[in-house]
Amino acid sequence: MRKYIGIIFLFIFTVSFAFGLDLSQLKKSVLIDEWTVEMAMNSTAGPNGSVSWYAPPGQPSNANFRLLGAKVSNGSGTADYVFMVDAVSKTAANYTITFNGKTIHYDRLGLPDDMETFQEVLEWAMKEGLGL
């Protein structure tokens, strides 16, 4: 009987860990150096912009990874970011960015597949983040 209780407890603990990470915990994941995803998106939105968070469809099959979405709007436009978050190490990496109807996909090394759109996104984010 005790054996079954232990197995049930272990199963519940594993499931709650894998699926229990909510958006508020995921957005605290480290993106670059000491910058969290939340800090980076708030900076990109600028003082007059907004950030809304969501859980994108199509979560990875590996329970240690989760997708986190952020729609960033400011006076210059809107971008939709999706991050791949490692729930164990609490780190994040860019997964996709959609901007002006174009989507940038990142490879395993973190390199974008569309450098022209990537440059547009960088200019947009820097312009608004610096208040220009």
Q: What is the pLDDT of residue 32?
A: 87
Q: What is the pLDDT of residue 17?
A: 42
On the question of pLDDT at 64 being above 50, the answer is yes
What percent of the chain lies above the pLDDT cut of 70? Answer: 80
Question: What is the DSSP-derived secondary structure letter of residue 108?
Answer: T
Q: What is the pLDDT of residue 131?
A: 63
Q: Domain for residue 11, yes or no?
A: no
Mean pLDDT of 9-36: 67
Q: Domain for residue 67, yes or no?
A: yes
Q: What is the pLDDT of residue 35?
A: 93
* Domain, as residue range, for 103: 22-129
Count of C-beta atoms within a 10 Å radius of residue 53: 16
Q: Domain for residue 3, yes or no?
A: no
Q: Domain for residue 10, yes or no?
A: no
Q: Domain for residue 89, yes or no?
A: yes
Q: Which residue has the higher pLDDT, 84 or 109?
A: 84
Q: What is the pLDDT of residue 19?
A: 45
**Do residues 45 and 90 lie in contact, with contact meaning Cβ atoms separated by under 8 Å?**
no
Domain count, the chain: 1
Q: Domain for residue 64, yes or no?
A: yes
Q: What is the DSSP string of 52-83?
A: EEE--SS--SSTTEEEEEEEEEETTEEEEEEE
Q: Domain for residue 14, yes or no?
A: no
Q: Domain for residue 39, yes or no?
A: yes
Mean pLDDT of 2-23: 47
